[in-house]
Amino acid sequence: MSFDSFELERSLAKRESSFSASLAWLIATAVLLTGCWEGTTRAVSATILATQGSARVKNESFSELLARPGLALSAGTVLQTVEAAQVDLAFLPSALTRMLGEGELTIDSLKLSEDGNETGDRILARRGAISLRAGTLFVVHRRPPGSAGTFLISTPHGTIVSNSDSLICVETSSQRLRVVSVRGSVEIVPTSGQKALSVDAGFLAETTPQTSTLMEAAGDADGQQKVTKAILAERELLALARRRQEVLAR
């Protein structure tokens, strides 16, 4: 074998190995990137399911409207209710709420992550965040099977985090935040910097700027009533949402 042919062979072998390395690198990158694929995320809007009494909504697009069933509310919308009012909302198919009495709620963000751009693509995650400045809110949060789901409720005294199936009642005012958990577990992160509280089913947590307490809901008359009302609210919300096909199938 002459020196030239030897060199040629060596260069071919080198090129072949570099091609194999590139191919391996490409495959590895593709595999790794697929592993990191979080799908496409888009903002969605909430829907008013039902109303009783007087409630108003306002955002950048429209100055002020009377809340009515079927009205879609995008991020940034503020919902204001007066005493004796009741507004049922589907923030996401996995997050239904009932706002009761005088209060104010702002939709911070509602996002869906899908496994592609098509309507029929699998939902990877449903994430919602709202702020409750004042009022009483019953929240039904269902983590969709096989996907992620988070619902955050910010209040003046702390943020409530629901990462799994839960049924809770949140009551906030300038003095305190009370959370009753009827099903599942939620976490409260107090704004005062106190230690986060985990509120399990059947428990009631109260947070003020000075203290955080946890007790059995059955040990408090108001807590007991909130459990009953939450169960009724859940049933009615699910029925309303099913009629509009805005709830996850179980």
Partner 1 sequence: MRLRILGEIKLRSANALSCVSRSILILSLISILTASAAASPLPPASSAAKDEIERAVRVAGARDGEEATARQFFQAFVAVLARVKQHQLAAYVVGAINLRPDLSARIVAVAIKTAARQWETKQGALCGITRQIIEAAITANPAAVVSIVRAAVEASPESRQCVMAAAISALPGKEAEIRNAARPQSGSFAFMTLSDLDETGFFIASMSMSPANFSDLRGNADVNSPEQAPPSH
CB of 164 to partner 1, least distance (A): 12
Go through 75-108 and write b for each residue having 16 or more CB atoms within 10 A of its CB, e for each that does not.
bebbbbbeeebbbbbbbbbbbbbbbbbbbebbbe
> Distance between CA 180 and CA 203 in Å, rounded?
6
Nearer to partner 1, 115 or 220 (CB): 220
CB of 125 to partner 1, least distance (A): 12
Nearer to partner 1, 149 or 157 (CB): 149
Q: How many CB atoms lie within 10 A of CB 248?
A: 17
> Distance between CA 98 and CA 100 in Å, rounded?
6
> Distance between CA 73 and CA 93 in Å, rounded?
14
CB of 237 to partner 1, least distance (A): 10
Residue 213: is it exposed, middle or buried by C-beta count within 10 angstroms (0-12/13-18/19+)? Answer: exposed
CB of 51 to partner 1, least distance (A): 8
CB of 111 to partner 1, least distance (A): 11
Nearer to partner 1, 51 or 154 (CB): 51
Nearer to partner 1, 157 or 205 (CB): 205
* Contact residues: partner 1, CB under 8 A: 42-47, 49-52, 59, 61-62, 68-72, 74-75, 88, 90-93, 110, 112, 123, 145, 181-183, 200-203, 216-221, 223-225, 227-228, 231-232, 234-236, 239-240, 243-246, 250
81, 82, 84, 86 alpha-carbon torsion, rounded to 10°: -10
The CA-based angle 5-6-8, given to 5 degrees, is 60
CB of 136 to partner 1, least distance (A): 17
Nearer to partner 1, 46 or 100 (CB): 46
Nearer to partner 1, 87 or 132 (CB): 87
> Distance between CA 11 and CA 214 in Å, rounded?
74
* Eight-state DSSP code of residue 238: H
